[in-house]
Amino acid sequence: MLQIEIETVWRFRKEGSPQSVAVMLGVLSEIRKTGKITCAANDARLSYRHVWNLIEQWSQFFGTPLVETQRGKGSKLTAFGEKLVWAGQRMQARLGPQLENLAQELATEIKPFLQQRPSVIRVHASHGFAVSKLREFLDREPGIGVDLRYVSNQNSLISLAQGACDLAGLHLARGGLRDQGVRACKEWLDPREDRVISFVTREMGLMVGRGNPLNIHSLQDLVDRKARFVNRDHDSGTRLLFDQLLVLHKVDESQINGAQQIEFTHAAVAAYVASGMADVSFGVEAAARQFELDFVRLLTEDYFFVCRQAFLETEPMRRVLDIMKGSEFHKAIAALPGYEATNTGSVHTVKAFLSHVGTVG
């Protein structure tokens, strides 16, 4: 299937034509990770001399050094170099899913005019690491296309009910908030037509700086420590879950510093904390580990997909289930921190699903 990629372009303009910083950001990121310019050169597939010239040129452009080198101790980024890297990572984390949605919309519009028309599976689900991983596996399958749109928990079920998608994502917290989640999704599930597919479990909690400098271990600590918080957008399932947790633990949102500061993905809030612009955020463990943050677990979520019985019996969906049940996919999920493939690919009736999820604590 035709795939479209839309990338962000970050340029600086200073008394002349704009200069793209994309290659430089990759170089700086690798130096930050390894402390070696040689590794950055290998990663960028450039010569050591070329990379060193880039560093010098950009340092002159900004009027301040980007990299510090010490004989026998390798290289490290200056404070300004660090700021550039984190700004780039925040930008990618914030815009990436939105650009993926736009690219998919364009591909869907173009597809009817092409001769090759593979079977397309329309997936509406909240943004998450396991969902992205499933898409990677499906993209390798010949004859199958994936139309993946990132939407909120409830909107995905509405899309399924209205026939706008084939697979709808659904994540439910374990413990005291389970019943609320079940009640919210129940009205959109058709016991006769719908089937529920187990996918993964994921750990949710607080992302904090390495070493947890403010000693944050609970939601009340956000208030008591006067921590700078960055929240998720109001339409996200994670924001709904966080708001429910605040009510459950009797924490007043108005007392949280930065509760109205929002980002749109797990990775974006993690990047916000990692760059030092906030002290703490709420999301999945995988995002915290991606940005080398510490993680304070608060609860476990079960992630499911919902589809129509008729679609479940199609050849494309049978191949999706084969992928979910396969050892290679399970191995990929196990590599995501905080994720676990639990009964992945098993199918349930709505009645069996509702009776089971209500008992998981």
Q: What pLDDT is attached to residue 57?
A: 87
Helix, strand or coil for residue 80? helix
Give the chain's count of helices (H) and strands (E).
15, 14
Alpha helices in the chain (DSSP H): 22-34, 37-44, 48-62, 79-110, 129-139, 153-161, 178-186, 219-224, 237-248, 266-274, 285-290, 309-312, 315-325, 327-334, 350-357
| Displacement of CA 337 from its chain's centroid (Å) | 12
Q: What is the spatial distance between Cα 298 and Cα 324, in angstroms, rounded to a whole number? A: 27
The helix (run of H) or strand (run of E) holding residue 199 is strand 194-208
DSSP state of 163: T
The answer to whether residues 300 and 202 touch, using CB atoms and an 8 Å cutoff, is yes
The answer to whether residues 10 and 22 touch, using CB atoms and an 8 Å cutoff, is yes
DSSP state of 5: -
Q: Any idea which residue has 């009645």 for tokens?
A: 351
Q: What pLDDT is attached to residue 281?
A: 98
- pTM for the model stands at 0.78
User: For residue 354, with 0-12 CB atoms within 10 Å meaning exposed, 13-18 middle and 19 or more buried, which class applies?
Assistant: middle
The answer for residues whose C-beta is within 8 angstroms of residue 241's C-beta and 6 or more apart is 173, 177, 204, 301
Q: What pairing do the DSSP bridges indicate for beta strands 339-340 and 294-308?
A: unpaired
Q: What is the spatial distance between Cα 156 and Cα 189, in angstroms, rounded to a whole number? A: 11
Domains of the chain: 1-117 (1.10.10.10), 118-361 (3.40.190.290)
Task: Give, to the nearest 10 degrees, the angle between helix 79-110 and helix 22-34.
Answer: 120
- Torsion of Cα atoms, 321 then 4 then 156 then 93, to 10°: 100
User: In the structure encoding, which two tokens stand for residue 68, read together?
Assistant: 């510090």
Q: What pLDDT is attached to residue 46?
A: 87
pLDDT, tens digit only, all 361 positions of the chain: 567 788 877 888 776 666 677 888 888 988 988 899 999 889 888 898 988 988 998 898 888 999 998 777 789 899 898 888 888 887 887 787 778 778 777 877 776 666 555 578 999 998 889 999 999 999 888 888 888 888 888 899 999 999 999 999 999 999 989 999 899 899 899 999 999 999 999 999 999 999 999 999 999 999 999 999 999 988 888 999 999 999 999 999 999 999 999 988 899 999 999 989 999 999 999 999 999 999 999 999 999 999 999 999 899 999 999 999 999 999 999 999 999 998 999 999 999 999 877 555 4
